[in-house]
């Protein structure tokens, strides 16, 4: 089997027929599609069973609801393809996605392939092309880490200084969705890579970063191969409703520290500014009532007093161009313990 497409499914009956049609329309014949029903309570399971019965290369895994990371991990455990793709069932694959992703990986003997996508506003005709940033063709792990992983892992102090000089803060960033990438399964398995089930948002970016620490060659396709459908009830909305925003920040901090340790300390500077921004984001969550006040403040303090975060606060560059930010950082420096 040349390619495995892994699709976590939860209560997606409304968009699933559209998605299934795009999988069936793939021009690449040598693939398996692994659908993981993550405890759906609507008609998702019955739609998937019909699709699997009609298409021999479709496979269905059913499990109790455990979240998107656990569902993707179940798909990885079952995958047999040389290359791995991911997709979400509320989106749409372009017909040549698998064919062109595999062709690029094979032509460049690459471990990792990325491609542009279209962002579509659900329920409208709006479609926005989202291009790649950078060349995205790199011949060594050092290049991949410096040129691509650094754009996904977080904001550095260099990015903040560039922002002060007039460059938009988000100008350098690349999104972390695994649905616009292709991976070599042997790299995933050799390094025991799986999605972190403790993270409920940005878990795909952390998986991408963990993978890039081991990828030796990277390539890309220069045309959009995926239509990402942006819905008003997306992941961020669900996270806010769940009350897990603060806990997720703490889990992301843990995950970044673990990846930095695995990288030999190469990654810590790449997210130093992100840690400071996250303190203010967490405070906003508490002060706007999206988290219980006292318990929320304890979580904010736990985050801000982490030695990595406290060091970032101490070293954060300040500018008169952003006086409110400067005042906030100075206040944190005054009220928090000094870094060891």
Torsions phi, psi of 109, nearest 5? 50, 45
Mode of pairing for the β-strands spanning 58-63 and 181-184: unpaired
pLDDT digits (tens, 9 = 90+) for 230-263: 876 555 556 555 568 999 999 999 999 999 999 9
pLDDT digits (tens, 9 = 90+) for 167-185: 999 998 999 999 999 999 9
Low-confidence stretches of the chain (pLDDT beneath 50)? none
Residue ranges with strand state E in 125-217 = 127-130, 181-184
C-alpha distances in Å from residue 152, one per residue of 178, 198, 207, 274: 12, 19, 11, 11
The pTM of this model reads 0.95
pLDDT at 340: 63
List where CATH 3.90.550.10 sits in the chain: 3-132+174-239
Contacts of 195 (CB under 8 A, 6+ apart): 68, 69, 70, 72, 73, 203, 204, 206, 207
User: Using CA atoms, how far apart are residues 156 and 274, in angstroms rounded to an integer?
Assistant: 7
| CA nearest neighbour of 31 among 95, 88, 93, 82 | 82
pLDDT at 237: 58
Architecture of domain 3-132+174-239: Alpha-Beta Complex (3.90)
Kindly list the strands in the beta sheet with 31-38, ordered across the sheet, starting from the edge strand earlier in the chain: 58-63, 31-38, 3-9, 83-86, 181-184, 112-114, 218-220
Helix (H) or strand (E) holding 240: helix 235-242
pLDDT at 233: 58
Percent of all residues in the chain with a pLDDT value above 70, rounded to a whole number: 96
User: Using CA atoms, how far apart are residues 36 and 73, in angstroms rounded to an integer?
Assistant: 10
């Amino acid at each position: 089997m040349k390619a495995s497409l892994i699709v976590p499914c939860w209560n997606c009956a409304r968009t699933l027929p559209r998605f299934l049609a795009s999988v069936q329309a793939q021009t690449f014949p040598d693939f398996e599609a692994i659908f993981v029903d993550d405890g759906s309570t609507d008609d998702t399971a019955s739609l998937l069973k019909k699709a699997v019965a009609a298409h021999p290369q479709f496979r269905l895994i059913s499990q109790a609801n455990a979240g998107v990371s656990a569902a993707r991990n179940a798909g990885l455990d079952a995958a047999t393809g040389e290359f791995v793709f991911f997709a979400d069932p509320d989106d749409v694959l372009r017909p040549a996605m698998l064919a062109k992703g595999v062709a690029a990986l094979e032509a460049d003997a690459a471990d990792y392939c990325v491609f542009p996508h279209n962002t579509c506003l659900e329920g409208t005709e709006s479609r926005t092309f989202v291009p790649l940033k950078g060349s995205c063709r790199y011949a060594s792990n050092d290049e991949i880490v410096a040129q691509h992983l650094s754009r996904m892992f977080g904001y550095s102090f260099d990015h903040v200084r560039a922002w002060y000089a007039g460059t938009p803060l988000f100008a350098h960033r690349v999104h972390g969705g695994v649905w616009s990438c292709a991976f070599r399964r042997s790299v995933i398995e050799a390094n025991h890579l799986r999605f972190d089930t403790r993270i409920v948002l940005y878990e795909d970016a952390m998986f991408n970063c963990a993978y890039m620490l081991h990828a030796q060659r990277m390539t890309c396709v220069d045309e959009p191969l995926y239509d990402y459908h942006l819905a008003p009830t997306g992941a961020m909305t669900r996270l806010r409703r769940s009350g897990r925003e603060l806990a997720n920040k703490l889990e992301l901090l843990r995950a970044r520290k673990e990846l930095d340790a695995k990288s030999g300390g190469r990654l810590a500077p790449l997210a130093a500014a992100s840690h400071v921004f996250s303190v203010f984001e967490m405070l906003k969550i508490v002060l706007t009532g999206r988290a219980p006040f006292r318990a929320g403040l304890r979580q904010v303090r736990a985050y801000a007093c982490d030695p990595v975060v406290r060091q970032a606060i101490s070293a954060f560059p300040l500018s008169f161009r952003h006086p409110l930010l400067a005042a906030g950082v100075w206040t944190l420096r005054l009220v928090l313990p000094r870094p060891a």
